[in-house]
Structure 1
Amino acid sequence: MSLRMVEIVCDNAGKDRVLAEMRQFDDDRFLSWSAGEDEDDEPLRARVLLDGDVASGLVDRLERRFSGETGFRIVIYPVQATIPRLEPPENNSEPGSEPEQTETPDASPKREGVIREELRAAVQEGAEFTGLFALLATLASVVASIGLLRDNPAVVIGAMVIAPLLGPNVGLALATVLGDARLARASLGTLAGGIALVVAPALALGWLLGADAGSGELAARTVVGLSDVALALAAGVAGIVSLSRGASTALVGVMVALALVPPLSACGLFWGAGELDHAASAGLLALTNVVCLNLAGVLTFAIRGVRPLWYHEIRSARSAVFRALAFWTMLLLAVTAVIVLNWRFF
């Protein structure tokens, strides 16, 4: 059971209305809660322990009703454990009977514990181009390039750990489903900058040290097949699902870096060494992975019900999702066609 502690703070003037709204939401689904209702002259500071699947609906409902109230704020805490242990609620309905419907008319669709602001907070900082991002991308490129040149998989894996490419990739997908133009611009710019910072040091090392296409690690980045498409799509879906279920961003970041850092570094190495055919193949693999990661990200977020809060934003966000899916799908078809043609004629 994924638990959240939701704290609601509000000035005294709106206290009674917030409490009434919480009770109307169906407080039977609150595992425990306290509100300090006896302190009439004090601002409201309520704490509610509830399942993550329920928390998203409560947060949306309260934000929609009271986000304009003076002093209103919602703070969300992840819960590691409680003592005594909470047991799942018993199902008291008769066999064969229909489950009781408790949703209110304006309730948000179930999103399997996905809380929009938690996702935004998890990716927004990493989607900004900062000095630290530039440093880590450059270091990841140097480490990956050395690992590729030495044919040392362990060193290549080390580069994936420090690569900061999770934020812009996931940020771009999240910005699409939320219709957040600012986050989309920041993510796109950071992704482009990150790609350039990974390729440039590898290009310099390739010019200085050369690149042996017979090396196992380098050769693996010059062969692009349909299995690579499937792998990148699976990595994208698994990464988004893991992130939205509260997995460590470091672990998800390694999954994203696996698809991007080695082929981009190989592209730079071959380019610097003058092996343009091999550089093009590695670049094709990197492009394939970027397309698949973003297509899988947008599709997974949309299926899991991540969307804007306000109704007037939902329509524009839905349009953005359709356009993005069409764009990434066309790019994927084009990349797949190039892969198939390479198989047949080269």
Structure 2
Amino acid sequence: MGAQRIEIFLPENEFLRLEEIVALHCRRYWREDVPGENEKLTCLVQQRYTERLLDDIETAFGDYPSLAVIVSPIEASIPPIIEDETSELPGRHPARPRTALERWFTRDRLSTDELYSDIEESLRVRPSYVATVLLSSLIAGLGMRSGQVAVVIGAMVIAPLLGPTMGLAMAATVGDSKLARRALATLAIGTVLGVIAGALVGFAVDIDPTVSELRNRTFVQPADIALALACGAAGVLAFSRGTSLALVGVMIAVALVPPLAASGIFIAQGDSDLAVGAAYLFFTNLVCVNVAGIGTFLLQGLPPRSWRITGGILVVWLLLLALLATALFGTFRFGFLR
């Protein structure tokens, strides 16, 4: 994922200004005549410059009704588009050049527009979303009930909660309240459906609550917090680089779907203590995934609209995590003293 092909359509009288902007972000571009009032400029842009080019185009020409921009990945080019420090173009703020760490973290990230496009489709509550949440939770519940780890992992490939979870972390990072509301609504629906699916398993088959795959989802351990943080960071890294959604989905779903299904199973069995324990694990994992997700998005250079809003949201998540960790420590200490 070293480069992108960007096609820009604008009226001919704006092409001189457009070429000045494009020249700041790439070294290969050409102009084409197309039918209609617009002209077409095509450019090959290194991945790390896609975001800033799209931002500059929108700032300069966003009011033009006929503006159209199409971004597509490039599999190969001759000569190749080199991705290293020798090919770096001047920054928009020469007085404050990017550090080597910033360059390293942002070089492979999709642009913000591409991330929005990937998330947008997954936040729509359609019959397919309802079906995948129910099926994933049913499979996970049956796998835990029989102690089959491979079945539980297989259920995660369906990845039903990937979109709302990534959307929630991204909304917090950029400070987009509309995206946050949509992600929360979709995640809430998925959460309820996951518990219902687990309850169906609990009603339909005999359950042995001592099976390790089930029992391990009824309490939180320090390793669970570390796992959820790692899943959140790895999931965002994979998602923001355009990696296979199945891979990203397994990273996120392994921390969220099994506790939901377990909570539903124990509700159906009438064991409220174990059901609450599973729900507590789900909430803890959700907080960890969002903390790690926001931090990873920020490290990758995803630009917040307001650092004050983004920082405030991150502080809230961190406080929740601290409270959960404190409660966990108290539980372990109390159990030890007893």
Q: TM-score, normalised by structure 2?
A: 0.89
One-letter identity of the residue aligned with 1:55: T
Q: Which amino acid aligns with 1:160?
A: M
Deviation at 1:13, TM superposition (A): 3.1
- State the secondary structure of the residue aligned to 1:48: strand
Aligned pair partner of 2:279 in 273, 276, 283: 283
Residue-by-residue CA offset, 1:280-311 (whole Å, 9 max, x unaligned): 22112111110001111112212222126xxx
Q: Measure how far apart 1:84 and its partner are.
A: 4.8
SS in 2 for 1:34: strand
Conservation of the 8 A alpha-carbon contact between 2:9 and 2:67: yes
Equivalent position SS for 1:36: strand
2:190 corresponds in structure 1 to: 194
- The change in CA–CA distance for 1:91 and 1:171 in structure 2 (over 3 A counts) is closer
Query: Shift of residue 66 of structure 1?
Result: 1.0
Question: 8 Å contact 1:145–1:265 — kept in the other structure?
Answer: yes
State the SS of the aligned residue for 1:35.
strand
Task: Say if 1:128 and 1:88 are closer, same or farther in 2 by CA, change over 3 A.
Answer: closer
Consecutive unaligned residues of structure 2, counting only runs of 5 or more, are none
- Distance 1:285-1:123 versus aligned 2 partners, 3 A rule: same
Could you tell me how far apart the structure 2 residues matched to 1:211 and 1:89 are? 57
Measured after TM superposition, the shift of residue 275 of structure 1 is 2.0
CA distance in 1 between partners of 2:85 and 2:293 (Å): 35
Task: Give 1:45 shift.
Answer: 0.9
Distance in 1 (CA, whole Å) between partners of 2:22 and 2:124 is: 36
What CA RMSD, in Å, does the superposition of the two structures yield over aligned residues?
Answer: 2.5
Deviates more, 1:66-75 or 1:282-291: 66-75
Secondary structure (helix, strand or coil) at the match of 1:54 reads helix
Question: Any stretches of 5+ residues in structure 1 without a counterpart?
Answer: 93-99, 309-313
Residue 157 of structure 2: SS of its match in structure 1?
helix
Distance 1:120 1:88, change over 3 A: closer
1:139 maps to 135
Preserved CA contact (<8 Å) 1:210 1:269: no
1:43 paired to 2:38:
yes
Are 1:122 and 2:97 counterparts?
no
User: What pairs with 1:31-110 in structure 2 (closer than 5 Å)?
Assistant: 32-36=28-32, 43-88=38-83, 91=86, 102-105=90-93
Q: Does 1:320 align with 2:316?
A: no
1:331 counterpart residue number? 320
Aligned counterpart for 1:148 among listed residues 114, 139, 144: 144
In structure 2, the partner of 1:311 is none
Corresponding position of 1:96: none
- Contact kept, 8 Å, 2:219 with 2:280, in 1: the verdict is no
* Residue identity matched to 1:56: E
Amino acid at match of 2:61: F
**Does the CA contact (< 8 Å) of 2:195 and 2:263 recur in 1?**
yes
Could you say if the C-alpha distance between residues 105 and 302 of structure 1 is closer, same or farther in structure 2, counting changes exceeding 3 Å? same
Deviations 1:69-105 (A, max 9, x none): 231121111112224544556849xxxxxxx982234
- Amino acid of the structure 2 residue aligned with 1:241: L
Distance 1:241 1:51 in 2: 19
Mapped to 1, the partners of 2:79 and 2:22 lie a distance apart of: 25
Matched-pair contact (CA < 8 Å) for 1:8–1:47: yes
Equivalent-residue separation in structure 2 for 1:108 and 1:87 (angstroms): 20
CA distance in 2, matches of 1:173, 1:325: 10
- Equivalent residue, structure 1, for 2:228: 232
Under a length normalisation based on structure 1, what TM-score does the superposition of the two structures give? 0.87
Q: SS at the partner of 1:148?
A: helix
Aligned to 2:258: 262
Change (3 A) 1:268 1:15: same
What amino acid does structure 2 have at the position aligned with 1:336?
Answer: A
CA distance in 1, matches of 2:247, 2:89: 38
The 1:267–1:200 alpha-carbon spacing in structure 2 relative to 1, beyond 3 Å, is same
Structure 1's 108 and 291: CA in aligned 2 closer, same or farther, altered over 3 A? Answer: farther
Deviation at 1:163, TM superposition (A): 3.4
- Percent of residue pairs identical: 34
Structure-1 separation of matches of 2:21 and 2:82: 26
Q: Distance in 1 between matches of 2:165 and 2:134?
A: 17
Distance 1:15 1:41 in 2: 15
- Equivalenced residue count is 327
Secondary structure of the structure 2 residue equivalent to 1:162: coil
Following TM superposition, by how much is the alpha carbon of 1:108 offset from its aligned partner in structure 2, in angstroms?
10
Question: Contact 1:128–1:187 at 8 Å: present in 2 too?
Answer: no
Distance 2:196 2:35 in 1: 63
Give, in whole Å, the separation in 1 of the partners of 2:237 and 2:32. 37
Is the 8 Å Cα contact of residues 178 and 307 (structure 1) preserved in structure 2?
yes
| Structure 2 letter corresponding to 1:178 | V
Contact 2:3 2:73 in 1 (8 A): yes
